[in-house]
Amino acid sequence: MDVLVLCGAVGVGKSTTAHEVSLRLADDGLAHAVVDCGELERLHPWPVEGLPESEAARRNLAAVWANYAGLGHHRLMLCGVFTDLHHELPWIAEAVPDAAFTVIRLTADPAVLADRVRPRPGSATPVPDPLDRAERQLREIAAADPPGTLVVDTTGRGVAEVAEQVMALWPAVSHPRETGRNGPG
């Protein structure tokens, strides 16, 4: 199973990039699945009392991936903040057996993050210090990069350019297997 883990602080462009990569893969006839890991833990109360913090996400990813794999897919793109991949990759590997990981961390200059994470006009829920949170995540994630982590800076770049670079770095789509084209992937 070829798994792209697209990680980074809030506001670096993970979800936008994942969406663009997905559109391009579909245009190229490359079957794939996409999971935004933030949705795997959208429950209350969270974390679940008495369970490891990542347990809800692990169970949900395992269930979703079992369905995708059952349909014949072997390419998965995950996006999420993932502040400590040394802790996160093991539960992802448990949920997606036989995963071959490509880890790409997106980053951006703090000034760019400031524009992206500023609360939108009319936002119902104010977030305390969103820029402080994003900058803290940038530092923590960079400090916890596992060996082999690839880094893509989104500063001053359009989503098409970032998606192109991400695809070039993901071996599962930069050199797709012939059997992976036009069928489950």
pLDDT digit string (tens) for 73-92?
999 999 999 999 999 999 99
Q: How confident is the model at residue 116 (pLDDT cuts 50, 70, 90)?
A: confident
Three-state secondary structure readout of the chain: CEEEEEECCCCCCHHHHHHHHHHHHHHCCECCEEEEHHHHHCCCCCCCCCCCCCHHHHHHHHHHHHHHHHCCCCEEEEEECCCCHHHHHHHHHHHCCCCEEEEEEEECCHHHHHHHHCCCCCCCCCCCCHHHHHHHHHHHHHHCCCCCCEEEECCCCCHHHHHHHHHHHCHHHHCCCHHHECCCC
For 2-118+128-175, CATH gives: 3.40.50.300
Query: In the prediction, which pLDDT does 180 show?
Result: 43
Each domain of the chain, given as residue ranges in start order, spans: 2-118+128-175
For residue 77 the two structure tokens come to: 């793109």
Instruction: Quote the mean pLDDT of the chain.
Output: 90
pTM equals: 0.88
Which residue, 13, 127, 146, 24, is CA-closest to 81?
Answer: 13
Per-residue model confidence as pLDDT tens digits over 132-179: 888 889 899 989 899 999 999 999 999 999 999 999 999 999 865 444
- Looking at residue 111, its pLDDT comes to 87
**Quick one: average pLDDT of 15-36?**
97
- What pLDDT is stored for residue 134 in this prediction? 86
105 contacts 8 by C-beta, under 8 angstroms: yes
The average pLDDT across 57-78 equals: 97
CB neighbour list of residue 46: distance below 8 Å, 6 or more residues apart:
56
For the ranges 33-47, 122-136, 157-171, which has the lowest average pLDDT? 122-136
User: Residue 9: CB partners within 8 Å, gap ≥ 6?
Assistant: 81, 107, 108, 113, 134, 135, 137, 138, 141
Instruction: Check residues 117 and 82 and name the one with the higher pLDDT.
Output: 82
* Whole-number percent of the chain with pLDDT over 90: 72
Which residues, in sequence order, are bridge partners of residue 4? Answer: 77, 102
